[in-house]
Structure 1
């Protein structure tokens, strides 16, 4: 999922440089959502791994 976040960030940067504002904004929004989902899943996996020990 982190790869998808990085991919959408790169798409947003390239689209922003080329002047495609709508595409850049959409890709940045998707990247932000995926990043927060990744962070939540990461924290949950850390807590779950810590509870097993």
Structure 2
């Protein structure tokens, strides 16, 4: 499950970067960034505990 979250985060960040280079999507670009950040925070909070 953790690998799936990291994969989704990486894909969202790549799409966000592509959105800047192609200049399409407007608000969608920022939505992708927010979703990627939420995924990172979720993974950090629910990650493996020692």
User: TM-score range, shorter-chain basis?
Assistant: 0.7 to 0.9
RMSD, matched Cα: 1.1
Gaps of 5+ in 2: none
Question: Aligned pair count?
Answer: 45
TM-score relative to the length of structure 1:
0.73
How many Å separate the matches in 1 of 2:27 and 2:15?
12
Gaps of 5+ in 1: 48-53
Instruction: Give the structure with the higher percent helix.
Output: 1
Largest Rg, 1 or 2? 1
TM-score relative to the length of structure 2:
0.77
Give 2:41's aligned residue: 36
**Which protein, 1 or 2, shows the higher relative CO under an 8 Å CA cutoff with sep ≥ 6?**
2
Deviating beyond 6 angstroms after TM superposition, the runs of 4 or more aligned structure 1 residues are: none
1:8 to 7, 12, 32: 12
